[in-house]
Chains A and B, each alone.
Chain A
Amino acid sequence: MSHRLAGEGAIQRERTLAFTFDGRPLTGHPGDTLASALLAAGVRLVGRSFKYHRPRGILTAGSEEPNALVQLRSGARREPNTRATVVELFDGLEARSQNRWPSLALDLGAVNSLLSPLLVAGFYYKTFMWPAAFWEKVYEPAIRRAAGLGRASTEPDPDVYEKAHAFCDLLIVGAGPAGLAAALAAGRAGARVLLCDEDFLPGGRLNGERREIDGQDGAQWARQVGAELAGLPGVRVMTRTTVFGAYDGGTYGALERVADHLPRPTPHQPRQRLWKIVARRTLLAAGALERPIVFGGNDRPGVMLASAVRTYVNRFRVAPGRRTAVFTTCDDGWTTAFDLLDAGVQVPVVVEARQQVSSVILNEASRRGLRIMLGSQVLDARGGRGIRSVDVRDERGRTVRVAADALAVSGGWNPNAALCTHLGGRPRWSEAIHAYVPADMPPGMIAVGASAGELSLAGALRTGTQAGREAAEAAGFAAAAVQCPHADDEAVGGTPLWFVAGCRGKAFVDPQHDVTPGDIALAAREGFDSAELLKRYTTLGMGTDQGKTSALNGHALAAALTGRAPADLGTITSRPPYTPVAIGALAGVHRGPDFRPCRLTPSHRWAQSLGATFLDTGEWRRARAFPRAGEVDWQPTLVREVLGVRNGVGLCDVSTLGKIDVQGADAGAFLDRVYANMISSLPVGKARYGIMLREDGIVLDDGTAARLAPGHFLLSTTTAHAARVLQHLEHARQVLWPQLDVQLASVTEQWAQLAIAGPRARALLERLLAGAIDLSNAAFPYLACAEFAWQGSPARLYRLSFSGELAYELAVPARRGEAAVRAAMAAGESLGVVPYGLEALGTMRIEKGHVAGAELNGTTTAHDLGLGRMMSDRKDYIGRVLASRPGLTAPERPVLIGIRPVAAQARLAAGAHFLRLGARASLANDEGFVSSVTFSPVLGHWIGLGFLSRGRERLGERIRAHNPLAGGDVEVEVTHPVFYDPDGERLRG
């Protein structure tokens, strides 16, 4: 039998939507939430509680819902723990209850209820302690299986998410009467206004009430204002959008549920959009949340907040129960009784905790023939899977049982001040409304309406209008004299009750985490009696509802138990997000291949066409190797490429290395101060290797400096440190020595740079450059550099070698990089040119003992790296002083050495640690570590570089490379780090 009422409401009866709940087909209308449609169909039981598996129903009509958590959809879009009260119904919606087995009606988990004396708060801390070994293998897996409510999908999310930025003069959080009035005042003045509301219908509480504004129906007024706002050019109204967090600098996070209410998003539509909003001013117009009262059976299906009952009746035209009793401690609760009766629903009794109420209320009650009990309290709501009666203790102490299938409860109202506390500001206690009101606001934010403790509709309209006007003026817009809308009168008195003493049935303070008054009492007994400690010990308020309907009741109970006033406990501050935010929305488009931008080299497409393998190193995607058909794994490819370079000629894209252009009259002097070695003495047309130290004496980076003109240098850095080095140089230029005449520019992107290396490199280049530059050894010796024109554009050539062979680096403008590579390959075809990548590059530099990122790891000095002789004693430079600290020059410091395995075919592993033969593997005996390893095609076995205490005095010694992480212990011989061509003859050919 349907619980649907006649009358208009905010639903569209002409259309019917079909949905299922636990497989059962049901119907609703557009404008329904899942909760309202379930109630209309007479479904009260929607879930089982977390710990005790108590039957649970729908408590509220909003996002503060603690109980009605359901799972929506199936397959890849399955979504657990969604509050049925905020789900916009759509045709084909599939919903399922959670945390029950085998079914919602018969849940075996309910046996936990019998164990409740054991499962009190804090039992986790006390129970699973012994034996210690059981924790990891027994207890933790069991708890993990029992924990949580819903189950997330493990399939990839088929939806896309987006992020966007918004800027405004005024951000208004909440489109209820206060927010709408403020938006109107500010928007009409011309300010940029952003009005956000989590609901799909603006209006806030107006949609659930029968109030009048300016003589018309409140909900109607809201729609009319909405239409006007839509026409104001500077105003944007965003419904289905929750402002979930306040952050520094007037920045707010908001989540727009773009397509949650559709079976699937339309093409190009994101499922959700995350907004970063920067607002000059913000109004918190988020209203207030009604308080439940704690009494026996207060968690049973059928017990609801009084204002929620009104919302279901007035907005959704649903009667949650056919016989609905009302339990209230404030004037507002009576409105529910009147609205129910006027809608044709039976109200067997209104139980009012106060001894007296106003005569206006009494008259309204008697006019409707309402049975009332003053000075009375509900002791217990009775029933199994839904209430059937309530036990009331009247003012004389007698217990009266009243038949009812629903109970509307009103314990007063709490201003919804969560957003104000996100930056740490604490609210203050208001005796007037017995609740916390915002204080110590984030800069630029004020609260209006019920959020500020102004609980009447007239107060909301007044404070909203005024704040909107002031915000517009602050932004420089003259606010026209805006008439404040006029509301009908109402009564807003009340006295809090918090909890009912003497209940028989189990009562719940925090229904989502099954926290009972007994838990609160236990916490108080054990000394956890401040608001923060109470929360942590009992988990009060830690659920997805974050204690919106439970925190203050819990504090009041703890206060009463310890003889204090609720305000004495202090209160908790909230953290973002206000309601849960999907991780997908936080990631936006940055998932999978779009996780981070990927920098591509100028030759990338060409390398792809050759079937190269790639490696993502830092920001760049670089070619790793160019395997040929038949090469089964990396080793044959590596051997072919390395020997191809060393015996012929190879080609490698080295564009990723940082390139910094340094100009100015003081360029040389500047570079002398940042490099450890002399740079100003470099002749024009020559390059030199250089190392830069950090201020603390550790090596920052190594690279080259080339002098193209007296006041023009070109520096190269490692790929990984390019940005860091430029930052370091800019700091030196702008802050340390602003008096020097030097200008820096990054030209990493401007130039494609190709390394051409091997004994036939000169021959290749002569064919490629066709006389554009004299390449003879006399004209262009080792370390020469030059600028010239080639094929109609500028080019540069450097004779530098990382591989140890005769080598050049050719730089051309980046757009010509691919063409240059193809031309070089063509020029080198008859010379047997091999393209090579990171793998071969790395192997060859290890063979030559060149240090790279693994050695320049932020802990090594020039001395450690064997580059101490580069440190000039003729000048001062960054790092000079601290590099000579005793700790950095101690003789036992590990220094760079080479290693080779004693057993010829043994493999080496980077990261292994050095121990003397026979020494026990312990930190005390640790003598250093292996930094880089490779298989050497030239030598035919593995080699490595590493750091060994007093290493240079121990050449020839045999030690162990011990690898506790991956296993393995290899005996190695200590060698000089340069394995190949130690005199550098091949370089200078």
Chain B
Amino acid sequence: MPAQTADHGRGVSAMERDGVGIARIAARRGQAAQVAQRLRAAYGIELPQGPRRASRGPVGIAGIAPQTWLATCEGAGSEFAQSLRQLLADCAAVTDQSDAYVMLRLTGPKVREALAKLVAVDIDPRTFRVGDLAQTVCGYMRVTLWRLEDSGQDGAVFEIWVGRSVARDLRRALAHCAAEFGFEPGRSFLETTAGHMA
């Protein structure tokens, strides 16, 4: 579970999500049904067909390409990819991506206004529903964006992922776009901006 919330009544708040295990699952030829069955049995999640994300408990599975999904597990590390590899050994190629992405959770009353400056997809609540996912561009960076359940007090909640090597530029872009609405970066956001990849 995310450790810090960062809302102090500001328009946009952002928090970096750490400690999430991330694994890429690509079904072997003709094995997609097997993959679906095993994941359903192990995690109680229906494998999404298309750009959507389904989750239950700490595990989420997002459809990112034909026959390809990105699975996440809160609080796990590379062990998640390891356990998936064992679960899906003969029916999918599993690749650990826990270090490949930086993930930011964005929320706040003005989060859509800020996102409109960043991503090129329609994020209106009626068009981009809870669980919808988009792979798009944001200031010349490839990003993956999805919408989580609305939070009671903060309203809409999104997660945006970018390759670790450009994370600094995404944080800068986000801080710039959200500035006019009042931007509240969470402690880990600030730390990471000043820290590892400054």
Query: Interface on A for B, CB 8 Å cutoff?
Result: 160, 162-167, 192, 268-270, 276, 278, 589-590, 594, 596-602, 604-605, 620, 661, 663-665, 739-741, 743-745, 747, 749-751, 793-794, 813-816, 818
Contact = CB atoms under 8 A, between A and B. Distances in A.
Contacts of A605: 195-198
- Max count, chain B CB within 10 A of own CB: residue among A599, A605, A664: A599
B33 interface: no
Given A165-B119, A167-B127, A814-B164, A750 B26 contact: no
A163 B197 contact: no
Given A594-B172, A597-B140, 9 more contacts: A276-B120, A594-B169, A598-B169, A599-B166, A605-B197, A665-B28, A747-B97, A813-B99, A814-B100
A596 B78 contact: no
Nearest to B165: A599
29 contacts: A165-B116, A165-B122, A166-B116, A167-B124, A167-B127, A268-B180, A269-B180, A276-B120, A278-B122, A594-B169, A597-B140, A597-B141, A599-B163, A600-B197, A601-B165, A661-B95, A664-B28, A664-B93, A665-B28, A741-B28, A744-B26, A745-B93, A745-B95, A747-B97, A750-B99, A793-B78, A814-B99, A815-B99, A815-B164
Interface string B124-144: 100100000000000111000
B95 A747 contact: yes
Nearest to A258: B180
A468 B165 CA distance: 47
A165 B121 CA distance: 8
A164 B93 contact: no
Given A165-B116, A597-B141, A743 B26 contact: yes
- By secondary structure, the A interface counts as mixed
B177 A162 contact: yes
Contacts of A268: 179-180
Contact of B24 (A599, A600, A745, A816): A745
B122 A167 contact: yes
Nearest to B179: A268
B10 interface: no
Contacts of B189: none
Contacts of B141: 597
Contact of A598 (B97, B98, B166, B180): B166
Contacts of A813: 78, 96, 98-99
A590 B197 CA distance: 20
A601 B198 CA distance: 11
Contacts of B179: 268
Interface in B61-117: 77-78, 92-93, 95-101, 116-117
A815 B124 contact: no
Contact of A164 (B30, B116, B140, B165): B116
A316 to B, nearest CB: 32
Nearest to A812: B99
Contacts of B176: 160, 589
A-B interface, 7 closest residue pairs, ranked by CB to CB distance from nearest: A663-B93, A743-B93, A743-B26, A599-B165, A749-B100, A814-B99, A741-B29
Contacts of B38: none
Nearest to B128: A167
Interface in B164-189: 164-166, 168-170, 172-173, 176-177, 179-180
B12 to A, nearest CB: 12
B162 to A, nearest CB: 9
A110 B77 CA distance: 78
B78 A818 contact: no
Given A589-B139, A594-B172, A597-B169, A749 B99 contact: yes
Interface of B: 24, 26-30, 77-78, 92-93, 95-101, 116-117, 119-122, 124, 127, 139-141, 163-166, 168-170, 172-173, 176-177, 179-180, 195-198
B112 to A, nearest CB: 11
Contacts of B121: 165
B166 A590 contact: no
A39 to B, nearest CB: 36
B197 A749 contact: no
A597 B96 contact: no
Contacts of B28: 664-665, 741, 743
Contacts of A751: 99
Contacts of B30: 741
Contacts of B29: 664, 739-741
Contacts of B177: 162
B180 A163 contact: no
- Max count, chain B CB within 10 A of own CB: residue among A589, A664, A665, A743: A743
Contacts of B165: 599-601, 620, 749
A162 to B, nearest CB: 6
Nearest to A739: B29
Contacts of B92: 743
A36 B122 CA distance: 41
A745 B99 contact: no
Contacts of A744: 26
Contacts of A664: 28-29, 93
A78 to B, nearest CB: 25
A167 B140 CA distance: 20
A750 B197 contact: no
A536 B180 CA distance: 46
A954 to B, nearest CB: 44
A369 to B, nearest CB: 57
A276 B116 CA distance: 10
Nearest to A665: B28
Contacts of B93: 661, 663-664, 743, 745
Nearest to A604: B197
Contacts of B99: 749-751, 813-816
Contact of A590 (B116, B122, B139, B198): B139
Contacts of A602: 164
B197 to A, nearest CB: 6
B94 to A, nearest CB: 8
B139 A597 contact: yes
A749 B179 CA distance: 29
Nearest to A666: B29
Nearest to B119: A165
B117 A162 contact: yes
Nearest to A620: B165
A749 B124 contact: no
Given A165-B116, A268-B179, A750 B166 contact: no
Contacts of A601: 165
A190 to B, nearest CB: 10
A507 B139 CA distance: 50
Nearest to B82: A794
Contacts of A816: 99
